Structure 1
Amino acid sequence: MERAFTSFLLLLQYYVISSPAINHFNISTDQLALISVKSQIILDPFHFLDESWSPARSVCHWVGVTCGSRHQRVRFLNLSNMDLTEIIPGELGNFTFLVSLDLRSNNFHGNLPQEMTHFHRLKFLDLSFNSFTGRFPLRLGFYTNFKF
């Protein structure tokens, strides 16, 4: 059933991306990025995302997601202490309004995507207590208030 759900999400992603009526820079972009993050999750033992991250609800009401009141775009993403296991997809870089990203104390692994350098508004980043490997996206290294 999990594979069927993932296939459905990929089909939904294809439909939304290919639709000419969708503006590339809107909440749909954020929703697709979050769905991509969720599709990479290998383990969600407490079912935080399974129960909350539903396409039937606005992403602004999903667990760990806070949107700005002005633009209704994802500004804060806090997935800390959820015991999630996954690889971070490049689509995470699509959060162009993201100010805070907290992924601490999970089981994230693999390389950090280079697309994370697109976070031009980012002020807070906590990646501590995970198992990331590989090269660190260079632009992120210029910030001093980040925890790795």
Structure 2
Amino acid sequence: MGKNVIFTLLTMLYFFIYVVTSLNSSTDEYALLAFKPKITSDPNKFLAKNWSQGTSFCNWIGITCGTRHQRVRGLNLANMGLGGTIAKEIGGLSFLRSMIISHNNYRGFIPDEMGKLSQLREIEMQYNELNGAIPTTLGFLENL
């Protein structure tokens, strides 16, 4: 009888981990899909052809995911000729370590929500049309 209890507990634990991981992956997908419509210029159709719900976001152009939990670890959209603004939902990518969007035509402000990216170690935004002050929330990111 003890083996059945252990088996049941392990099965429940596995199911719980699966559900939590799936929910967190949905958060990453939501953040990326909120980021996409803020791109108003995609002359080479990099995102238009590739970033869709029919494909795992870990296979999207410019996205790197961790192998263990399939969470977004890297966002590299440099030199793609993209234009638009940075969506505040980008702050939902809680495992993001690297964000490289340099050499594009992003404009507007850097969202305060980027201060939630506690894992962020690298950020490259040069050669865009961003304006305004750098959010003070970025100053709290210890790994930058």
Q: Deviations for 1:71-96, whole angstroms, at most 9, x for unmatched residues?
A: 11000000100010111110010000
- TM-score by structure 1 length? 0.78
Report what 2:60 is aligned to.
62
Determine which structure has the larger helix proportion and give its number.
2
Q: Which residue of 2 aligns with 1:90?
A: 88
Secondary structure in 1 matching 2:28: helix
SS in 2 for 1:60: helix
Report deviation, 1:137.
1.1
Matched residue type, 1:64: G
Q: For 2:66 and 2:142, how far apart are their aligned partners in 1?
A: 24
Partner of 2:49 in structure 1? 51
5+ long unaligned stretches in structure 2? 1-18
User: CA offsets, 1:17-54, max 9 Å, x none?
Assistant: xxxx8889511111111111111111100000011111
Query: Is the contact made by 1:125 and 1:145 (CA closer than 8 Å) also made in structure 2?
Result: no
1:134 Cα offset (Å): 1.3
Query: What's 1:73 paired with?
Result: 71
Name the count of aligned residue pairs. Answer: 126
Counterpart of 1:74, as a letter, is: V
State how far apart, in whole Å, the 2-side matches of 1:80 and 1:25 are: 29
Per the alignment, residue 12 of structure 1 pairs with: none
Moved beyond 3 Å, runs of 4+? 21-25, 141-146
State the superposition RMSD in angstroms: 2.2
Supply the distance in 1 between the matched residues of 2:140 and 2:34 (Cα, whole angstroms). 27
Mapped to 1, the partners of 2:102 and 2:23 lie a distance apart of 27
Q: 2:118 touches 2:143 (CA, 8 Å); kept in 1?
A: no
SS in 2 for 1:26: helix
Greater C-alpha radius of gyration: 2
SS in 1 for 2:137: helix
CA shift for structure 1 position 143: 6.5
Q: Give, in whole Å, the separation in 1 of the partners of 2:22 and 2:91.
A: 13
Cα shift readout 1:97-144 (whole Å, capped 9, x = no counterpart): 000000100000101100000010111100100011112111324669
Determine what percentage of the aligned residue pairs are the same residue.
Answer: 42
Letter in 1 for 2:105: N
Is the 1:30–1:74 contact (alpha carbons within 8 Å) kept by the matching residues of 2?
Answer: yes
